[in-house]
Structure 1
Amino acid sequence: MPTPPSSSVQAARKAVADRLREIRRDAGLTAKEVARRAGWYPSKASRLENAVTPPSDADIRAWCAACGADDVAVDLIAASRSAATMYVEWRRVQRTGLRRLQESFIPLFERTRVFRIYCSNVIPGVLQTHAYATALMSAITDFHGTPNDVAEAVEARLARSHVVREGNHRFALLVEESVLRHRVGDAETMAGQLGYLLSVTAYPSVSLGVIPFSASRRMWMIETFSVYDEDMAQVELLTAQVKLTAQVNVTAPTEIAQYLKAFGEFADLAVYGAKARALITSAVDALG
């Protein structure tokens, strides 16, 4: 029997369907009336708002037009496309494991000019060492029970990270201080990873900020996310099989704006330069 989609895929599809229902109710219409205005059989409206049938872009535009809510169609279409992408990536990793997923990010990485990455749980992927990435991906593979191609996936991850050293890219990277202290792998693995972080602070394309434990929080810790230019955000959740299947892709302009705002808040809390290096060095010393 095929494994069912992850709960995040189902939740994303249901969120789109629930939003369609809200739009209809706000317009004071029945599902049958929406179907009539859109030129559909009555059953189609019911299938769409109960997440039985995923809506096409044209379906969403027709629904919003029937309800006099054309202004929300763009964001809703983006959310629907994100749900569809999550499902495709989930199926891919169930069949093939991590390597092809890692390789699938290469075109995105190469065309992005400005990376904004906030990590609350692990070292950013573009800065991971071979040993750290191996330990992390091994743990994730074991947890999710997906095909074990860790060695190939690590090589693919490191290959895509060449953008840090080559090309016209800029990286604004923020990590919580706790990320420096959480051990992934053994002490030697962490020491090597933290040492590499110290070295990349000298790269002209990289701005690395650390949010210290002592920061007076105006912004609470949230899930790890990345924003690519201002075109797409990716959010990493356990139930989306973080770093295994696709992260949740956010393409709705209003939602991307929220992640950019959150990144700005985190950036204000972080320390940089000598202060950031001091926190990294302290984490190395704590390894004993």
Structure 2
Amino acid sequence: MPISPSSSAQTARKAVARRLRELRKGAGLTVVELAGQCGWHHAKTSRIENARTAPSAKDIRLWCRACRADNEAEGLAAQSLNAESMYTEWRHQLRDGLRQLQNRSVPLFRETRLFRVYSATLVPGLLQTEGYAAALLSTIADFRGLPVNDGAEAAADRVQRSRVIHESGRRVVLLVEESVLYHQVGDTEAMAAQLGYLLTAGALPAVSLGVIPKTVRERKHWPIETFHVYDDRLVSIELASARVRITQPDEIALYLKAFERLREMAVYGAAARALIVRSIEALG
């Protein structure tokens, strides 16, 4: 069972806090004494040690200097930065609009050779049509109360970003629950176009599209949150409130294990196309 994404990020924060506390105690300093040497109130020391306040790189360097452990400063600063980047609320990511959010992912897409995506709710972004993506992103902008609704522009950028799947040397393995085919996003025309594109994209040489039938018996794994695996080095999870990035090898392994169990329940090829055609017919 994959670890809760938010608790995973908190665990990473606590690991940094625990090491800082060990350094302070190892140096024989009290909370007040360390605060005095670092030039801040002792309450800040307590908040850092209890993982309630994330220390800046400067805070960590001052802390390590006070504890005569300068050699650990850079490693702990990098570990702390990674912990804070694991869990990022959407409200912070969307400050510059939806279009900028799409474009920030381009370098990651360019570096990745194997994409693995599971979704129980929506067509994965890599296979979204512009109409489907525009409707979805505009809904997100409305829900988030963004001052500028740039959903249409962001959709065009998302489709452009997704063209990476047509390049040689890429492999894309996508799994969706059958219910995804019936969650209508946009108007009927946009949804029909999206489903039609799944029939085409699923036949691409680099793409493996699996659909987990709603009639599958004795599931090997339950439906879980949408997640993307980039090669074997990063898992990105989309929650209602935040995006979580996991880089710990043992946690990545858990998501890969879940992905394989979900993959075993899916149907492919003609069987998957039959399910998609049935959902198109259901649109009326």
TM-score calculated relative to the size of structure 2: 0.79
Alignment-mate amino acid for residue 114 of structure 1: L
Provide Cα deviations, 1:64-87, integer angstroms capped at 9, x if missing partner: xx9xxxxxxx9x976851423644
Query: Which residue of 29, 36, 48 maps to 2:25?
Result: 36
Partner of 1:260: 256
Contact 2:227 2:235 survives alignment (8 Å): yes
Partner of 1:243: none
Alignment-mate amino acid for residue 163 of structure 1: V
Task: Count residues in correspondence.
Answer: 257
CA distance in 2, matches of 1:271, 1:188: 26
CA distance in 2, matches of 1:82, 1:186: 40
- Deviation for aligned residue 1:136: 0.4
Partner of 1:286: 282
Helix, strand or coil at the partner of 2:53: coil
Contact 1:170 1:205 survives alignment (8 Å): yes
- Deviation for aligned residue 1:151: 1.9
Distance change >3 Å, CA 87–CA 239, structure 1 → 2: closer
Provide Cα deviations, 1:190-215, integer angstroms capped at 9, x if missing partner: 11100000011220000000000011
Partner of 2:127: 127
- Deviation for aligned residue 1:54: 3.1
CA distance in 2, matches of 1:111, 1:52: 33
Instruction: Give yes or no for the alignment of 1:84 onto 2:60.
Output: no
Alignment-mate amino acid for residue 126 of structure 2: V
- Deviation for aligned residue 1:164: 1.4
Provide Cα deviations, 1:183-242, integer angstroms capped at 9, x if missing partner: 1112111111000000112200000000000113120100000000001010000011xx
- Deviation for aligned residue 1:48: 1.9
Distance change >3 Å, CA 224–CA 253, structure 1 → 2: same
Contact 2:120 2:225 survives alignment (8 Å): yes
Helix, strand or coil at the partner of 2:94: helix
- Deviation for aligned residue 1:149: 1.2
Helix, strand or coil at the partner of 2:205: coil
Distance change >3 Å, CA 255–CA 14, structure 1 → 2: closer
CA RMSD of aligned residues (A): 3.3
Alignment-mate amino acid for residue 52 of structure 1: T
Partner of 2:160: 159
State the identity as a percent. 45
- Deviation for aligned residue 1:150: 1.2
Query: Which residue of 227, 236, 244 maps to 1:225?
Result: 227
CA distance in 2, matches of 1:9, 1:213: 26
Helix, strand or coil at the partner of 2:241: helix
Alignment-mate amino acid for residue 236 of structure 2: Q
CA distance in 2, matches of 1:39, 1:169: 54
Partner of 1:150: 151
Contact 1:233 1:250 survives alignment (8 Å): yes
TM-score calculated relative to the size of structure 1: 0.78
Distance change >3 Å, CA 88–CA 286, structure 1 → 2: closer
Provide Cα deviations, 1:237-263, integer angstroms capped at 9, x if missing partner: 0011xxxxxx21111111111111111
Query: Any residues of structure 2 matched to 1:1-288 within 5 Å, and which?
Result: 14-19=10-15, 31=21, 34-37=23-26, 41=34, 43=42, 46-50=46-50, 51-54=52-55, 81-84=82-85, 86-87=87-88, 90-94=91-95, 96-146=96-146, 147-215=148-216, 216-240=218-242, 247-288=243-284
Contact 2:87 2:244 survives alignment (8 Å): yes
Higher radius of gyration, 1 or 2: 2
Distance change >3 Å, CA 121–CA 113, structure 1 → 2: same
CA distance in 2, matches of 1:133, 1:235: 18
Distance change >3 Å, CA 277–CA 214, structure 1 → 2: same
Alignment-mate amino acid for residue 151 of structure 2: V
